[in-house]
Each structure stands twice: as C-alpha cells, then as structure tokens.
Amino acid sequence: MPNPISLYDSLERKLKPVVPHQPDGVVRFYNCGPTVYAPAHIGNFRTFVVNDVIRRLLELEFGPGKVKHVRNLTDVDDKTIKRAREEGRPLAEVTRQWTEKFWADCRALNCLAPHVEPAATGHIHEQVDMIDVLMKKGHAYRAADGSVYFKVGSFDHYGELSRVKERELQLGSALKAAAADADEKEDVSDFALWKAHKPDDGDNAWDSPWGRGRPGWHIECSAMSKKHLGETIDLHTGGVDLLFPHHENEIAQSQCCNEKLFSHHWYHSEHLLVDGKKMSKSLGNLYTLDDLTAKGFSPMAVRYALLMGHPRKQLNFTLDSLHAAESALTTIHSFWQSLATDGGADVFGEVYAALGDDLNTPAALGAFFSIAKRGSNGVSKSACERVLFAFGLKPEAKAKPQGVAPAEIVKLADQRWAARTAKDWAGADALRKELAVAGWSMLDGKDGYKLEPTKK
C-alpha cells in the first residue's frame, strides 16, 4: 500500500498510524468475534467487513507474513446455553452449527479467515489462570456463591476508554442488567470473571479453584489475546457497542494481570441502521445474509453496500442501496475486463490515500469510480486488482442476478415465512398459492427462504 494506514484511536481520541511495536515487525491485530447461537445479522457483518478491509490494508502495507490477525468465538455464555437448553441439544452441537454458518457467510462476503480463531471453551485453563493472578494481586474477590468478580475500584484507569463517569457506572444500563447478582458484589460496578454453576447451566461447567462454573464474557478475550498475540497488542477493534463495558473491562483485567499496556490502538466502527431505524425483529428489519440473498441480491452487493458509509459514522442500510451496489459492481466488472493484462500505470494513489485516512471507504470508492469514468487507457490491471483486493471486491463477480423479486412479492413471501414460523399452516398455504399465481415459487430452508420465478 503506497500510503500508511492511520485510524482513529478511541482511547487517545486522535488519528494514529497503525504500526508494529515488537522487534519482529509483525502487526498484532485482535478483533472481537461473534457469539455463535444464531445467524449473524448485517449489523454484525458491517463490523466484520470493516475489520477485513483493515486486515487487507495492513497486509498490503507490511506484507501478508507481517500481520497476525486473531478473532475469537464466544461459544459459552447465557445466550448459547439458553439456546442449547431450549433445543435440547448439547452446547457444542449448537455452537458448531452456528460457527459453520458464520464461516459460510464470511466466505460469501469474501472476508479473509483470521490466522487464529480461538473459542472460549477451548481456553478455560488460560482464563482460570488469569483470574487466579487477579485474585492473588487483590484485583478480584470470591463471592459467597463461588462467583469471582473484578474489583473495578482497584484499577485507577478504569473508564478512560469510554470516558464513563461515576454516575454512569452506578446507573448505566449495562450495570442495571447485572442487578440480579448485585447482592453478591462488593460494588455494583464490579463485573464477573467466573460465574458459579447454576441449575440452568446444565452440564456446561468446568472445575476451578473457586468451584464448578464457567468464565464471564469479558475474560475470554483477554486470555485468548494474551495466548495468541502476547501481553501487548498493536490494534484491537470492534463495534462501538463493545466499547463499554466489554473493552473497558478487557483493559482493566489485562493490565492488572500483566502489568503492561494491553493495546496500543483501539478502533471502533459505528452502528448500522436499516431504513433509518435500529434493527429489531419486531420491526422486521433485522436482516441476515440469507434474507438478502433470498431477495435476489448477491453477497458482493451486500459487502459493497456495507462499505458505502464511513465506518465511524452510522450507516443507513436500505434495499435501494443494494440495488445501487449491484449497479456499481457491474461497472467495476466492466472496467476491470476492459483493462489490458500487461502494462499501464498505477493511478490509484487517491484511492489508497482515502483508505489510509481513517478508512474513508466512501471517498475511496468515489475516487475509484472517477478513475473508471476516465476510461481504461494506460491503467494497470494488476494495480486495479490490488485496489479491489483492498476493498475485498471480486472483479470477476457476476452482476445482478436475474429474477430479482419485486417488493410486493417479497412482502408476500415475508408474510408467508412469518405464518410458517408461527405454525399457521393454513395461512402459510394460502400465501404460497398467492405467490404461485403471481409466478413465484418459495423454497423454504432451515433459516430462511429463496424465491424463484416460475414464469418466463
């Protein structure tokens, strides 16, 4: 990459270059991964796509062998255990299903696989070891029920990442959610490192010096990052929703345990809105990748649409933006095909400059299309391929698929899927007949549906 990549640091509140700090010159990069109990939605994938572009830019700048990317899998927590209990299946079976689905979606979106993808259940020993050190250093304590809590008051720098105030510590929603076990804590702001076994946990418990139980959510990232990247890393990323309390807690427990700086750089991407509103099942705007491909859009169009807004600003995602993305992909494909195999110049300096300036993807895409409009004369095809690698866009990807269902057909299909989910078989059958009369076949899958035209 011609330009170094600089990203806004959420801790220092300024733009900083991302650089390696160890003598081996390797950039150590950690980003928080999914909780594998259900399909990830496009809000989740905005963060993962942004992280993927960062990974690609770092490899272009420092070389593929000089970046080590770790992304975790949360495969034990309240949500995963609840799903396993509801389905009457072992936790490992449930989480494996959704891990494989997550991997399939990542491949479809052309996200590079992390170099290491550790799972929380595979690192219980490392988590217990960290908690034990925190206990011995006086940063944690055992409650009467056997749970272990981190003593927030023992870390003077708590709150510096999120700028959380004492009043917010006491009244914040993240802490209100923990009110159920407040009686076990010395202070309401303290957070769980180890949760004592409860009947609802079933067989999902491990031995520890404090009794049977399971690790808290926050400790897993600290333990897995330490094992695979060392005590101090160069870059830690995630969605802005993780800034507090998760990342704040990671800093506290890591730095108290290791007595070293945890991360040199913190980067957070903003929320995704859908049709101007926060995603929710009740509004019917919580889309998975399967939901969008069932409507006829390609995964590359979804990826492109997720890059259309600046990562540190809220992005309003709409179906119209997907239509625009499909059109843009057609232009990219035509431009790439028009380039000569050999020769030509690298004219993409402005694109790299925008990407290196706090990952300004909309400006970078705009610069790319300005070049494309000027025509292919004198443009290096290999240079174009490097730029498209940075975006993670496949130049050979097909343009918009044929037979995309119109909005009224999608609405009928959504109504039928809702009826089917509610086990309203008569209603679902009636809606299927309406779709058939309109010339569309609805193919049901385990987690969604696909529409296919029956009339030519």
| Separation of alpha carbons 185 and 2, rounded Å | 52
pTM of the model: 0.85
Residue 332 pLDDT grade (very low, low, confident, very high; cuts 50, 70, 90): very high
Query: What residue ranges in 127-187 does DSSP mark as E strands?
Result: 140-142, 148-150
Q: Is the pLDDT of residue 228 over 80?
A: yes
pLDDT in tens, 136-181: 999 999 999 999 999 999 999 999 999 976 445 544 445 444 444 5
| Separation of alpha carbons 355 and 281, rounded Å | 34
Q: Cα angle at 223 between 82 and 136, to 5 degrees?
A: 105
Please give the residue that has the higher pLDDT: either 184 or 95.
Answer: 95
Q: Are the C-beta atoms of residues 81 and 204 closer than 8 Å to each other?
A: yes
Give all domains of the chain, ordered by start, each with its CATH number. 6-269 (3.40.50.620), 281-391 (no CATH), 407-453 (no CATH)
Task: Please name the amino acid found at residue 172.
Answer: G
Give the number of other Cβ atoms within 10 Å of residue 58's Cβ. 25
Please give the residue that has the higher pLDDT: either 178 or 71.
Answer: 71
Tokens of 351: 């694109």
| Separation of alpha carbons 97 and 116, rounded Å | 19
Q: What is the mean pLDDT of residues 325-346?
A: 87
Cα dihedral 318/324/328/334 (nearest 10)? 140
Distances in Å between the Cα of 39 and the Cα atoms of 78, 100, 212, 373, 378 are 16, 10, 30, 39, 45
Task: Please name the amino acid found at residue 142.
Answer: R
Which conformational region is residue 191 in: left (phi greater than 0), alpha (psi within -120 to 50 degrees), or beta?
A: beta
Containing 27, the helix (H) or strand (E) segment is strand 27-31
Tokens of 129: 């070891």
Q: Are the C-beta atoms of residues 234 and 20 closer than 8 Å to each other?
A: yes
For 226, the 3-state DSSP assignment is helix
pLDDT in tens, 350-370: 999 999 999 999 999 999 999
In sequence order, the β-bridge partners of residue 454 are none
pLDDT in tens, 281-303: 777 788 999 999 988 899 999 99
Sorted by sequence, the CB contacts under 8 Å of residue 380 that are 6+ apart come out as: 339, 343, 344, 345, 346, 347
